[in-house]
Amino acid sequence: METIRLGISTCPNDTFAFHGLLTHAVDWRGLDFKVELLDIQQLNDRLFADSFDVAKTSFHAALLLADRYLVLPSGSALGFGVGPLLLAARPDTQPTAAEQLTLCPGEQTTAALLYRLFHPGTTRVEQVVFSEIMPRLQAGAADFGVCIHEGRFTWQQQGLHLVEDLGSRWEAETGSPLPLGGIVASRQLSPATLATVQQVIHDSLQFARADPAAALPTMRRHAQEFDDSVLWQHVELYVNDWTVDLGAVGRRALATLAERAAAVGITVGWPLTVLGD
């Protein structure tokens, strides 16, 4: 039995999609998955350290790791209206001064890349765990923060202020859905193993979509936000037909991200390849 070191994030769209795999409700097809659930930047860091065979990662990180990992067709988070939000501690403020501080959720996150694309050189940037961003803004310890995950739905309750929806700006400038993150697999895995991993993930996703309520206990167990309505908002926004299969539109979105990243100096030695292409 071949062991697969699998890393996924704790955000509700991943725990929803992987519920069937995590609970053995779908057939592992002869593989032995050893699963860790981590913050997205922790996953990115661990991928750079070769700690996983298969993992969820930011597409920003996937670009940098394209020589070592393929993107799987299933499991991605991309779409319209899914982007990170640039929030402010105070109303009517903009990131324009070097003494201002912006918190981002990790150097290789797609959220940090979007901030770099749209607000280059405007403020000091500090990378922190995503769950620290809104509390630090509330405490006045930073001027701005790039908010992801469940916080996208709760920032108003925290008394924070919207500067810009970075995803909406991406959509306006590119006409493309925003590719946030996806499942990558090591190029060192055999073609048969890669195909099997892809099928198990596809099966798990379809299992959850067929009976969404069954996944709720798994989602609750790992969520930062415990309000069920927020968890379902998250799933409804980030789990869609492109999660089942990237398709031609998803692949074009990845190509656009690579082009935009190159324009700000993020060079990729290998093209970002989707399994089967």
Domains in the chain, please, with CATH? 2-79+178-263 (3.40.190.10), 85-174 (3.40.190.10)
What are residue 87's DSSP bridge partners?
A: 145, 162
Q: What is the pLDDT of residue 32?
A: 98
Tell the residue number behind the tokens 């700006």, with chain if given: 169
Residue 150 has pLDDT above 70, yes or no: no
Complete DSSP assignment for the chain: -EEEEEEEESSHHHHHHTHHHHTT-S--TTEEEEEEEE-HHHHHHHHHTT--SEEEEEHHHHHHTTTTEEEPSSS-EEESS---EEEESSTT--S--TT-EEEES-TTSHHHHHHHHHSTTSSEEEE--HHHHHHHHHTTS-SEEEE-TTHHHHTGGGT-EEEEEHHHHHHHHHSS-EEEEEEEEETTS-HHHHHHHHHHHHHHHHHHHHSGGGGHHHHHHH-S---HHHHHHHHHHH-SHHHH--HHHHHHHHHHHHHHHHHTT---SS---BTT-
User: Global pTM?
Assistant: 0.91
Residue 137 has pLDDT above 70, yes or no: yes
How high does pLDDT run on average in the chain? 93
Q: What is the pLDDT of residue 227?
A: 82
Residue 110 has pLDDT above 90, yes or no: yes
Where residue 226 falls among pLDDT bands split at 50, 70, 90? low
How many CA atoms, within 13 angstroms, populate the side-chain half-sphere of residue 232? 7
* Number of C-beta neighbours around residue 140 at 10 A: 9
- For residues 130 and 148, the answer to whether their CB atoms sit within 8 Å is yes
The answer to whether 149 is a known catalytic residue is: yes
Q: Tokens representing 204?
A: 């798990």
Q: What is the pLDDT of residues 11-41, one digit of tens each?
A: 899 999 999 999 999 999 999 999 999 988 8
Residue 272 has pLDDT above 80, yes or no: yes
Q: What is the pLDDT of residue 244?
A: 96
* Number of C-beta neighbours around residue 123 at 10 A: 20
Q: What is the C-alpha separation between 116 and 124, in angstroms, rounded?
A: 11
Q: What backbone phi and psi angles, to 5 degrees, belong to 4? A: -120, 115
Mean pLDDT of 263-269: 79
Percent of the chain with pLDDT over 70: 98
**In this structure, is the dihedral angle defined by the CA atoms of residues 184, 190, 191 and 197, taken in order, positive or negative?**
negative
How many CA atoms, within 13 angstroms, populate the side-chain half-sphere of residue 12? 30
Where residue 265 falls among pLDDT bands split at 50, 70, 90? confident
Kindly name the residue from 19, 119, 149, 202 that is annotated as catalytic: 149
Q: What is the C-alpha separation between 42 and 40, in angstroms, rounded?
A: 5
Where residue 225 falls among pLDDT bands split at 50, 70, 90? low
Tell the residue number behind the tokens 């493309």, with chain if given: 176
Q: What is the pLDDT of residue 130?
A: 85
